[in-house]
Structure 1
Amino acid sequence: MRLTVLGGCGAWPEAGQACSGYLVEHDGFRLLVDVGYAAFPRLLQHITVDQVDAVFISHGHPDHCADLNPLLRARTLRDDPPPPLPVYALPGALDAVLALDRPGMLDAAYVLHEFTAGSGLDIGPFRAETRLLPHWVPNAGVRLTADGRTLTYTGDTGPSPDVVELARGADLLLAEATHVDQVPDDSVGCLSSARQVGRQAAEAGVGQLILTHLWPGTDPSAARAAAADGYPGQIDVATADLSLDFS
């Protein structure tokens, strides 16, 4: 299993970076997990549009799904469009982004598979276990397993025992850590700090931790240090083109 980070900025992309977008590959299958602002041009630095085999969207905030629109445009507005792209999302999560173009324009570009958080999915070689995690809108964390290797991705979430259970024993936890230490009062329960994520990663016994969705302007070294206060393993920060092979 291989993870390539397309972007890991929270809210909006910093210069030269992108918002949440992650390419997960196994056995020749390419799964795009979230595709926020500016993630699409980053994707094109690695593969072509017709090489994407499926898309999984954690929730409907635009820093996680806005670039689904140019991806679908690039697949359908051509002389030789590829087959419809399977897109997995919670009910209603993609209504806004799919309504950006005139009715019917992108219909042939995708097949929408809406699922209930808590259900399991088979996406190519991946077994995907989902769980509803606390955020302002419904957010599906996902645990992807293939050939005995496991990656857990939180989407955006406040601290929760469900995060720990979803990540239990995973080889890699890709976790939202918008803030370093203190989550603002208006975001408590909906977003996490790097310090909280470190503690949850340790409790879950994960093999490696990647912090993502850092607020623009956050010092990555400060986020790593805060997470390391509770988690003794390897810690990275999601930046464009970070690539990890944990096969």
Structure 2
Amino acid sequence: MRISVLGGLGAWPTAQQGCSGFLIEQGNFRLVVDPGYATVQPLLSRVPAAAVDAVYVSHGHPDHCADLQPLLRARVLADRDGPALPVHAPAGSLDALLAVDEPGLVDGAYRLDAFTPGEGFDVGPFAVRTWALPHWVSNAGARFTGPDGVVAYTGDTGPGPELVELARGADLLIAEATYVDTVPDRHAGNLSSAVEVGRYAAAAGARRVLLTHLWPGTPPEAAVAAARRAYAGPVEVAAPGLVCVVPS
């Protein structure tokens, strides 16, 4: 299993990189997870739009889903008879995004498979289990189990006991770490710190951690050091061009 980072920032993109987004490849199957702001260009530098087999969206904030819209345009305007792209997302989370274009333009480009966080389903070679994790809007953390191993992904989340279950024994935990040490009061309960990620990754026995959704301007080395206070395994920060292979 090959996981390519398309972006690793939270809130907004910078000139250097986009927001959270990942391409997970298992054999010939290509799954895009959270196509946030400024992730479609790095995606298309790796695979043609028509070669994406499915999309998983954790929640409806635009730094996690905005570039689904240009991806759909890239598919339907190049080939109006092409297959619909399966898009898996919490029910109602993409309504606003899918309504921004002219009526009917991208309707044939996707098939929306809405779910309630907590449900499980299959996506290509992956068995997907989801958890409802604390955030301002409905957010579905997910565990993708494929022939080569397990990737766990939090989306955006505040602290909760479900995170240990989500990350239990995962070969790779991709975890939101907007802050390094302390989550400000205005975001408490809805976002996480690298320190918190280190604690639950250690409790879960995750084999490797990839920190994502860092607030723009956060020094990556500070986030890594914070996670390592409690977690002894390998820790990296999601950055454009980084590729993780499972099993490592």
SS at match of 2:18: coil
Amino acid at match of 1:99: A
Amino acid at match of 1:69: Q
Q: 1 CA distance for matches of 2:77 and 2:42? A: 20
Q: Give the aligned partner of residue 101 of structure 1.
A: 101
1:82 CA drift (Å): 2.2
CA contact (8 A) 2:32 2:52 kept: yes
Describe the superposition over 1:4-36 as per-residue Cα deviations: whole angstroms up to 9, x where unpaired: 000010000122201011000102100000100
Alignment RMSD: 0.9
Q: Give the aligned partner of residue 215 of structure 1.
A: 215
SS at match of 2:117: coil
Matched, 1:45 2:45: yes
Matched, 1:113 2:113: yes
1:81 CA drift (Å): 4.4
Q: 1 CA distance for matches of 2:246 and 2:65? A: 26
Q: Give the aligned partner of residue 177 of structure 2.
A: 177
Q: 2 CA distance for matches of 1:51 and 1:27? A: 13
Amino acid at match of 1:197: V
Q: 2 CA distance for matches of 1:38 and 1:115? A: 26
Q: 2 CA distance for matches of 1:239 and 1:47? A: 18
SS at match of 2:88: strand
1:102 CA drift (Å): 1.5
Q: 1 CA distance for matches of 2:80 and 2:181? A: 50
CA contact (8 A) 2:148 2:246 kept: no
Q: Which runs of 5+ in 2 are unaligned?
A: none
SS at match of 1:35: coil
Matched, 1:156 2:153: no
State the aligned residue count.
Answer: 247
Q: 2 CA distance for matches of 1:185 and 1:80? A: 48
Q: Give the aligned partner of residue 68 of structure 1.
A: 68
Q: Give the aligned partner of residue 242 of structure 1.
A: 242
Structure 1 residue runs of 4+, over 3 Å off? Answer: none
CA contact (8 A) 1:22 1:32 kept: yes
CA contact (8 A) 1:201 1:209 kept: yes
Matched, 1:186 2:211: no
Q: What TM-score does the superposition give when structure 2 sets the normalisation length?
A: 0.98
CA contact (8 A) 1:8 1:19 kept: yes
